[in-house]
Amino acid sequence: MKLSSLISEDCSKAAVLFNSKKRILEFISELAHEKLPHLHQQDILSALLNREKLSSTGIGRGIAIPHGRMNNVEEPLAVVLVSKTPINFDAIDNRPVDIFLALIVPDGDNQQHLKTLATIADKLNNKEFCKQLRSAKSDEELYQVIVSQS
């Protein structure tokens, strides 16, 4: 699975500026709602927040993979944000997070969900890829990094 098959340019945002975990998740849910208008934005946010209650999706090294399962979603949708300044996200290494690759996935399709998470985690394990994400100056440049690396 290619990362570019999950992410569109309008769901790639560089140099965003938020100061809290809740606000970044709200923004992710706003972007996801634009791509999935049949879902309520508040329901998307609730799915993301409910997953965070289980344990933080901050995987360390300044990276988080917030995700939520939802009914009425047929294909996974990803949103990538790079924050201008890292924010506290309760990551496992206690470091602030500046790369957010969020997923909204179909409820019940565990195999696809795990495969998608594994693809994303593998990509984000590449230090050069993360460096390029962090250095993107515009949404378009960020999207081009994703397309060229997947």
Catalytic residue positions? 67
- 79 and 31 Cβ atoms separated by less than 8 Å: yes
DSSP 10-78: GGEEEEE---SHHHHHHHHHHHHHHH-TTS-HHHHHHHHHHHHHHS--EEETTEE--EEEETT--S-EE
19: region left, alpha or beta (phi > 0 left; psi from -120 to 50 alpha)? alpha
Residue at 30: amino acid letter = E
- Beta strands 97-106 and 67-70 are parallel
Reported as half-sphere exposure (CB side, CA atoms, 13 A), residue 57 has a value of: 25
